[in-house]
A and B are shown apart, each in its own frame.
Chain A
C-alpha cells in the first residue's frame, strides 16, 4: 500500500472507528452509570456531609469517625468475619466432594443431577423465605416439625444468638452449593482418563488417585473459589435482611446489612457511604490478591 492510498483511506477508517464505537457506546454508558461512577462517587461523597441523598459540604473524615466510633462497628465486623469463617467450615468442602461422587455414579446419574440442582432453579427470594419458615421457632417450622416427630421439644433456631450465623450459613450453603458443585463437576469431567490409568498402573488405590491425581487437577479452581467465596460472603446482606433482620439483638448483623440500615432505613447516608468505602478497600485488597492468584493459576495450566 503506498502513501496516497493510506491518505485516501484515512477518512474512511475514521468513519469505521466511529461506527464501531457507536456499537460499544451503550455498554460503556451503562457500565459508567451503574458501576464506574457509583464506585468512584461513593468514595468521593463519603467525605461529604449529606442532606438526605444530596451531598452538601466537604467534612473530611467525619463520616468515617462516626462509623468507626459507633459501638456497633466492631461487633458487626466481627460478625461478618464469623459469616466468612462458617461459610468455609460448612460450605467449602461439600460441593467438591459431591462433584467427585456424582462423577463416579453409573446409576441414576441424570436423576441425581437434576434433584441436586433444584436449589439453583428455585428463585433466590423463594429460598430465603422458605428457609425463614423452615427455621420458624414455633411448631409450624419444618425443623421443629421433624423434631416433634422424633419426640423432642421445639428449638428456637435463628433466635439462638450463639448459632444464628451458622444457621444462616447453612441456608446459604443449601442455596449456593449446586452452582459451585457444577463448576467443579464440569472440570472433573474434563480430567483425562489416561491420568487415572497411569496412576493405577503405578499401584495407586482410589484414595491415592483422589489425592494425587484428581485433586491437583482442580487445585486452581479450588484456590480461586476460596477468594471468590470470601469476597462474596463478606458482602452478605439479603440473608440477614430476610431471615433475621440482623437479630437477635444484632447477633447476625453483617456489614452489608448495617450499610443497608444506614443508607435506606436510618437515613444516615453519609455513614453508609463511609462504611461502603471501608468494605470496598478491604475487598479490593482481596480482589487484587485474587487477580494475582488467577494469573498464577492460568500460567500453570
Chain B
C-alpha cells in the first residue's frame, strides 16, 4: 500500500488526505474510476464471452458465460468462425494497405516536414500556411468529389467528360494510400519535431557530402524516432479501423480489407451472432498487437500531439 504522505500536491495534497473528508474524496474518486473502467472493459468482455457461445445459447438463455468453457470447444469455435468468415485474404490485404500507409506517411509527410522545417526556400512558407489551413478543412465536402477524381484521375487525362479514355483508380489501393498521405496533421507533427534538431547537424552532413534526401533518411528520421513511430502507428491502425474508404473504393471482394469485409458481413444470413463476434475479435487482434508492441510511443505521442493544442 502506498502512503499518502508521498503524494505530489495536486488537487488533494498530503494534508487533505490526513483528514476524513480528504480520504473520503479520494476513495470516492477511486470508486468512480473503477466504474469507468467497468464501462470501458465490460463490452469487450461481453464480446469475447458471446463469441464463445453456441448459436442456440445465444437466443435461448440470458446467461453471460458460455456453458461449455473448455479449451477444446473454444478452439472449435475459433476454427468454425475462421472458416465461415474467410478473413484470411482480407487480413493479407489489410497488411499490404497498412504497410503502404506507413511508407507514404514517412516519405511524403516526413519529407514535407523536413523541407518546411529545415529548407525554407522561396515559396515554402506559402505551402506551410496552406498545410495549416488544410488541417481544419471539414472533410465532408470531399467525399463525393474525391470519388469523382478516382473515377477519372486528374493530371493523366483532362477530366472533361470522356470517361472511356480516363484513368480509373477505383478498385486499387491508390486512393487509400493517397488519402492516408494527405495528412497535414502529420506534416506539422514532423515539422515540429524536426524543428528541435539543431541546424549545425544538417550543415555538417552537407559538408560530408550528404544530399538533402540522404540527410533526411540518415539523420532526420533516426533523430525523430518517437514521431516516426507515432505517425507509423497511426497509419498502421487506420488501415485496421476504417471501413468507409475501402468500402466505397474497392469493388472486388478479393481486394477488400478486413474492416470493410466485417462491415459487409453484417447483413449475411449464415453468419450467426457468435461467429460474428469472433470476427470482431479477429479484426481487433492486429490493433491490439500494435498497441502492445508500441505502447510507450502511443502514450508519448499523445503528448507530442497535445503540445500544439
Contact = CB atoms under 8 A, between A and B. Distances in A.
Interface of A: 16-17, 19-21, 23-24, 26-28, 30-31, 33-39, 41-43, 45, 53-56, 98, 100-107, 112, 115-116, 118-119, 121-126, 129-134, 139-140, 142, 145, 148-149, 174, 178-179, 182-183, 186-187, 191, 193, 196-197, 200, 205-206, 209-210, 214, 220-221, 224, 231, 234-235, 237-238, 241-242, 255-256, 259-260, 263-264, 269, 272-273, 276-277, 279-280, 283-284, 287, 290-291, 294, 297-298
Contacts of B134: 31, 35-36
B141 A39 contact: yes
A241 B237 CA distance: 21
Given A23-B212, A106-B2, A107-B2, A200 B64 contact: no
Interface of B: 1-2, 4, 6-13, 15-16, 22, 25-26, 29-30, 32-34, 36-37, 39-41, 43-44, 46-47, 50, 58-59, 62, 64, 104, 107-109, 111-112, 114-116, 119, 121-124, 127, 130-131, 134, 136-149, 151-152, 154-155, 161, 163, 178-179, 181-182, 184, 187, 211-213, 216, 237, 240-244, 248, 259, 262-263, 266, 273, 276-277, 280, 283-284, 287-288, 291, 299, 302-303, 305-306, 309
A45 B26 contact: no
Contacts of B119: 20, 23
A280 B111 CA distance: 30
Contact of A125 (B11, B46, B241): B241
Contacts of A224: 309
A255 B284 CA distance: 29
B108 A123 contact: no
A31 B184 contact: yes
A294 B108 CA distance: 27
11 contacts: A23-B216, A28-B127, A33-B178, A37-B154, A39-B145, A118-B40, A124-B243, A125-B242, A182-B299, A263-B147, A273-B144
Contact of B145 (A100, A205, A273, A298): A273
A145 B64 contact: yes
Given A38-B149, A276-B142, A277-B141, 8 more contacts: A20-B121, A33-B182, A41-B145, A133-B47, A149-B62, A205-B16, A235-B140, A276-B140
A27 B161 contact: no
A148 B60 CA distance: 12
B144 A294 contact: no
Contacts of A231: 136, 138
A140 B63 CA distance: 10
Nearest to B179: A34
Contacts of A182: 299, 302, 306
Majority secondary structure, A binding face: helix
Given A104-B11, A124-B241, A206-B25, A235 B139 contact: yes
Contacts of A125: 241-243, 259, 262-263, 283
Given A31-B131, A101-B32, A259 B143 contact: yes
Given A53-B147, A235-B140, A264-B248, A17 B122 contact: yes
Nearest to A283: B138
B36 A116 contact: yes
Contacts of A237: 140, 244
A19 B151 CA distance: 32
B136 A290 contact: yes
A196 B10 contact: yes
Nearest to A134: B43
Nearest to B151: A53
B140 A259 contact: yes
- Residue of A43, A105, A178 most packed against chain B (CB within 10 A): A105
Contacts of B291: 121
Contacts of B184: 31, 35
